[in-house]
Structure 1
Amino acid sequence: MSRTEYVEIEGVPLLATLVPGDGVGLLALHGSNEGGTAELAALVARRCGATSLVFTQPGARRPVHIPSPRMVAARSSLLREFLDGVRLTVSLHGHMRPHAWDTLFLGGGNREAATVLAEELLALAPRFQAVTDLAEIPPALRGLHPRNPVNLARLGGVQVELPLPARTTGGADVPPRPVVDALAAGVARLAQPPATSTQERC
């Protein structure tokens, strides 16, 4: 059962929508700014039975981009609940780097989880390049700030920066199927207990 909460951060009204699930969490902090990220979080979470939390700015003509480290849990009870309830976060963002129109940057503090997602992207969405080497990720997209929500779950998480073609289709906020499939497969692997040798796909 989804729950919603209206919050105000730095004078910006936001709607948070939480759908509880298992211990991996899909997070979209900028659902109105970065087209397709809210939809991608919801699709992957629903496919895998994962938890999702999406922030949007309903009705805003020009949504305000609040940097992730300033989307603090103290201002949103649903964000606190999300971070308390998941053990690992996959935080979805959009980038507009013209030189990297086919590149996903996988930052965040959990580098092992970033590698898992990259493997599934290579297998199921080979059109896109998945970069995990932090030295090759633009500093602003690395997601390493200690107050960034992606790093506040028990096992930290992965900040996935997606170019426009990896999160929209035909000008609409409809994520392409191969990216949905790849992220769902990666989340399914991350959700498996460490002792489980057989990895199931969503």
Structure 2
Amino acid sequence: MRTEHVRIEGVDFLTTLTLAGPIGLLALHGGVEGGTAELATEVATRTGATLLTFTQPLGPPTHIPSTRMSECPPLHTFAAHVSLTISLHGHNRGSTPRTIYVGGSNRPAARALATALSRWAPEFLPLTTLSEIPNPLRGLHPDNPVNRTKDGGVQLELPVLARTSHAAPTHPEIPPEEIVEALTAGVRSLMERAEQR
């Protein structure tokens, strides 16, 4: 595990990078989108995936769009190491409190993760039809870090109920076990596919 301080657009981040398997779990907005870094960490621990999280240890949380975060050393190292990225984000859309938007450029991988979510966390709705995903949540921009690895990636936009087990924020956040199990199963499936190629 390697930690590094980086500064992006005047905001200080602490990055934590663990190089491991060919699938990479990424949480660009840990602390801003509560529970995403904790969820990525837990799934990576259970699967042996590579992990990169960003947190903001000082000052009020600032949300910098993913497309403006690509040019930093930890992300370059991460992208050079993994073949497929799974990027965890949070949405706060009150009209869809149990919908998980499954975007990103690798649509077969997106469908595989959606299948795992449907099986292991049936109380949530994973949505993979891009035309039904709000445009800002589709994760298709070529400058988005989720798409900068060899096989592209999957952007998961998770509602609050899928990121934390508590109504009020806690530190650290504790992701719901059913979501951890679902993503663990999905990542293992993707790792098996990668090994068979």
* TM-score in terms of structure 2 length: 0.95
Task: Return the alpha-carbon distance in structure 2 between the equivalents of residues 26 and 83 of structure 1.
Answer: 11
Matches within 5 A, 1:60-75: 60=59, 62-72=60-70, 74=71
CA drift of 1:193 comes to: 3.7
Q: CA RMSD in A?
A: 1.3
Amino acid at match of 2:11: V
How far did 1:189 drift? 0.6
Q: Which residue of 2 aligns with 1:123?
A: 119
* Partner of residue 144, structure 2: 148
Q: What is the letter of the counterpart of residue 30 of structure 1?
A: H
Alignment-mate amino acid for residue 189 of structure 2: R
Query: Would the aligned equivalents of 2:84 and 2:149 in 1 still touch at CA under 8 Å?
Result: yes
Aligned ranges 1:70-81 → 2 under 5 Å: 70-72=68-70, 74=71, 76-81=72-77
Give distance in 2, aligned partners of 1:193 and 1:160: 20
> Distance between the aligned counterparts of 2:2 and 2:46, measured in 1?
19
Aligned residue number for residue 105 of structure 1: 101
Q: How does 1:134-173 map to 2 (within 5 A)?
A: 134-170=130-166, 171=168, 172=170, 173=173
Q: Give the % identical residues.
A: 53
Say whether the 8 Å CA contact 2:29–2:55 is kept in structure 1: yes
Size of the aligned set, in residue pairs, is: 193
Aligned in 2, Cα 1:194/1:68: closer, same or farther, shift over 3 Å? Answer: closer
Structure 1 position 20, deviation (Å)? 1.2
Shift of 1:59: 2.8
Write the distance in 1 (CA, Å) between the matches of 2:119 and 2:161.
18
Q: What letter corresponds to residue 23 of structure 1 in structure 2?
A: P
Match of 2:52 in 1: 53
TM-score normalised per structure 1: 0.93
Q: Distance in 2 between matches of 1:131 and 1:88?
A: 20
Please give the alpha-carbon distance, in whole angstroms, between the structure 1 residues aligned to 2:24 and 2:194. 17
1:148 aligned partner, one-letter code: N
Cα distance in 1, alignment partners of residues 181 and 99 from structure 2: 17
